[in-house]
């Protein structure tokens, strides 16, 4: 199944779900609900951009939820101690970059499999944060913290601009810049990419560091929606992000993914989560659906690889 065909399938599924919601529910398409829906899924969209780059290289990161939590708490702590909001946001993004770079170093240079390395950092970061905060939320935030001192409408507009910019610049880089082609080549065939002069270790390190920065940015924009910062932010976030990228057509084995597919995947999963509430279905089904999507995507990619390998063997 080509990436384009899967994108069309996801788009048609979204349209069908929208029609079903319009027929069976009232209030789903109200401006207030659509705004809440966008803000709730905005962090997923931003982090999914970084995850797409990671999966393109043939790796995976299941620590993004923990990095998101670390950056949220860093943002809150800095602001609560009197630092300017802009400086607090910068420090939070730097914290994300450091966590992402740690993952990248373990995977690219120590050569620990990404699933193992990020599982270890996911647990270490989450438990370390729980120990530091003792489960307490960050309070005592300045008045200008919530909505960045703006109205909710202005803040929402700002988030739309940020999301469009992040998605657009990444899509452009993948298609037009040498670094984007290096990312794709690394995931398609690391050995071949290395032979043509691509430093695949640096590429892998770079995409993990970039993913950390984006997790920090998502944490900043999400934390300022409230007047307190929970210490357990981002629980289960990694599952939703990976599912969104997978359903958007990214090959889990690397080398194939598009930003269009990722956006469609985030939209579909965001719609499904809220639709369950409107249909009166238990919200616990959302994670079951996300897990099922990942399983289906991996199965499709595995079958595709088997068919390709068999075809190559026969032709040889």
User: pLDDT-derived band of residue 306, with 50, 70 and 90 as boundaries?
Assistant: low
C-alpha dihedral sign at 107, 110, 112, 113: positive
Tens-digit pLDDT profile for residues 7-16: 888 899 899 8
The model carries a pTM of 0.92
Tens-digit pLDDT profile for residues 201-221: 999 999 999 999 999 999 999
The number of folded domains in the chain is 1
Mean pLDDT of the chain: 90
Look up the domain containing 85 and give its range.
3-315
The CATH number assigned to the domain holding 243 equals 1.10.3470
Q: What is the distance between the alpha carbons of residues 155 and 146, in angstroms, rounded to a whole number?
A: 10
Among 83, 65, 58, 212, which residue's Cα sits nearest to residue 138?
A: 83
pLDDT over 80 (residue 287): no
Instruction: Identify the residue whose tokens are 């993990």.
Output: 208
User: pLDDT-derived band of residue 72, with 50, 70 and 90 as boundaries?
Assistant: very high
User: pLDDT-derived band of residue 305, with 50, 70 and 90 as boundaries?
Assistant: low
User: pLDDT-derived band of residue 256, with 50, 70 and 90 as boundaries?
Assistant: confident
Q: Which pLDDT belongs to residue 2?
A: 64
Instruction: Identify the residue whose tokens are 């009232």.
Output: 26
């Amino acid at each position: 199944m080509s990436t384009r065909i899967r994108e069309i399938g996801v788009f048609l599924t979204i349209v069908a779900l929208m029609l079903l919601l319009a027929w069976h529910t009232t209030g789903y398409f109200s401006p207030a609900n659509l705004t809440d829906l966008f803000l709730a899924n905005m962090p997923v969209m931003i982090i999914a951009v970084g995850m797409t780059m990671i999966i393109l290289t043939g790796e995976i990161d299941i620590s993004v939820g923990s990095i998101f939590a670390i950056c949220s708490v860093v943002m809150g702590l800095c602001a609560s101690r009197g630092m300017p909001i802009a400086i607090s946001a910068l420090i939070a993004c730097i914290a994300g970059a450091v966590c992402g770079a740690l993952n990248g170093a373990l995977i690219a240079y120590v050569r620990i499999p990404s699933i193992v390395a990020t599982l270890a950092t996911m647990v270490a970061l989450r438990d370390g944060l729980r120990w530091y905060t003792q489960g307490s939320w960050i309070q005592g935030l300045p008045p200008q913290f919530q909505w960045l001192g703006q109205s909710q409408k202005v803040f929402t507009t700002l988030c739309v601009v940020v999301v469009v910019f992040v998605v657009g610049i990444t899509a452009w880089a993948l298609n037009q810049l040498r670094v984007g082609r290096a990312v794709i080549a690394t995931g398609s065939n690391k050995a071949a990419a290395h032979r043509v002069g691509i430093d695949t270790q640096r590429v892998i390190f770079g995409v993990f560091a970039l993913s950390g920065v984006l997790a920090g940015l998502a944490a900043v924009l999400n934390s300022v929606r409230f007047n307190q910062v929970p210490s357990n932010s981002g629980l289960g976030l990694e599952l939703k992000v990976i599912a969104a990228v997978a359903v958007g057509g990214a090959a889990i084995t690397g080398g194939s993914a598009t930003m269009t597919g990722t956006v469609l995947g985030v939209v579909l999963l965001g719609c499904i989560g809220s639709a369950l509430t409107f249909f009166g279905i238990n919200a616990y089904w959302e994670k079951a659906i996300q897990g099922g999507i990942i399983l289906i995507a991996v199965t499709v990619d595995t079958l595709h690889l088997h068919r390709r390998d068999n075809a190559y063997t026969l032709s040889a």
